[in-house]
């Protein structure tokens, strides 16, 4: 298959993106060969019947080198997109009732394009100045299923390139690409804040914008030798202010499309340490997903602590490809 003929994934019948039409039981299995460098195989398989009418990844194979097999999940990820394990209940008031701070948005005239009328929220992970406000970001907030830190500092490469700088750079590139297609793009922050926003506020910004899709941009901090990207999908969660039931299906569809296009554009392999080679991971401990009422995923674009991945993440040309791959996945999800 040529580079320019990456197939559009068939869309399952949807009812407001939160359910399927009554009686829909037609089994569909789709196999898509993702374009990757020679010697690296990447397959995404979906079984619409098994996933309630949506594309569910049921098998995949992708590795950093021919013949390599995915390792088991590394327990030493540092830090996770939102920090450490849930904190014990703290002194802060319930965060779900707070109104989020104004987000950075493109309010100028938008060109006509396939995303005209769509709203996309882009959430640059962390904040470069979080380390100057440790008391504020250590404050615990309600994530529905427990409590967690407001935010964390994120990770960095060995040379000191911060995840917060990476995520904001990719977010800017992503905004430019999506805006050129007519989408209104809202950033949860644009580097203008002294710290944060907190994870619950990041979710609230997407909710209040009535986003058609939301993506949180990150890079991981795992062990050397752990390589590749993965997209984090929301688990089925209900508790406190969290109820992900309406968004689990559409978020999975969004994540699958982003993963497929990310491989195609960047030629990156799916993570060899998380997701069993699928490039997908499902989590119920992230407030940014738990508290979202709109389709939302996280993407870990690579591992900043691995020298080979770090060489990509610190390269501006590769970051442009990363933004393009994410944008193409969002467009594929929304345009149709």
Active site residues: 300
* 3-state SS, residue 45: strand
Q: What is the b/e burial string over 323-333, where b = at least 16 CB atoms within 10 angstroms of the residue's CB?
A: bbbbbbbbbbb
CA nearest neighbour of 275 among 254, 299, 239, 307:
299
Other CB atoms within 10 A of residue 158 CB: 11
* 3-state SS, residue 243: strand
Question: Is the separation of the CB atoms in 201 and 100 below 8 Å?
Answer: yes
The torsion angles phi and psi of 319, rounded to 5 degrees, stand at -60, -35
The torsion angles phi and psi of 264, rounded to 5 degrees, stand at -60, -45
Instruction: Give the count of alpha carbons within 13 A of 303, CB side only.
Output: 23
C-alpha angle 175/177/183, rounded to 5°? 70
Integer angstrom CA distances of residue 238 from 15, 95, 248, 287, 294: 22, 16, 12, 12, 15
């Amino acid at each position: 298959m040529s580079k320019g003929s990456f197939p559009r994934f068939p869309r399952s019948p949807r009812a407001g993106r939160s359910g399927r039409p009554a009686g829909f039981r037609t089994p569909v299995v789709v196999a898509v060969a993702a374009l990757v460098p020679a010697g690296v195989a990447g397959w995404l398989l979906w079984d619409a019947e098994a996933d309630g009418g949506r594309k569910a990844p049921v098998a995949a194979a992708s590795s950093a080198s021919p013949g390599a097999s995915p390792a088991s999940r590394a327990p030493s990820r540092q830090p996770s997109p939102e920090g450490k394990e849930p904190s014990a209940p703290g002194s802060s008031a319930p965060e779900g009732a707070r109104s989020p701070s104004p987000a950075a948005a493109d309010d100028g005239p938008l060109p006509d394009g396939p995303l005209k009328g769509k709203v996309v929220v882009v959430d640059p992970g962390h904040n470069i100045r979080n380390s100057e406000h440790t008391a504020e970001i250590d404050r615990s907030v309600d994530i529905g299923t427990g409590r967690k830190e407001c935010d964390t500092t994120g990770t960095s490469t060995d040379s000191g390139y911060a995840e917060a700088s990476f995520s904001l750079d990719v977010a800017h590139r992503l905004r430019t690409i999506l805006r050129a297609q007519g989408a209104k793009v809202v950033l949860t922050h644009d580097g203008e804040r002294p710290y944060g926003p907190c994870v619950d506020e990041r979710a609230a910004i997407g909710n209040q914008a009535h986003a058609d899709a939301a993506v949180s941009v990150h890079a991981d901090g795992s062990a050397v030798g752990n390589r590749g990207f993965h997209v984090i999908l929301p688990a089925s969660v209900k508790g406190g202010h969290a109820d992900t039931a309406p968004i689990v299906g559409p978020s999975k569809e969004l994540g699958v499309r982003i993963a497929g296009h990310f491989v195609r554009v960047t030629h990156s392999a799916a993570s060899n340490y998380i997701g069993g080679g699928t490039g997908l991971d499902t989590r119920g401990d992230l407030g940014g997903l738990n508290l979202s009422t709109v389709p939302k995923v996280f993407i870990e674009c690579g591992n900043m602590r691995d020298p080979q991945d770090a060489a990509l993440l610190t390269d501006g040309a590769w970051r442009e490809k990363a933004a393009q791959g994410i944008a193409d996945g969002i467009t594929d999800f929304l345009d149709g």
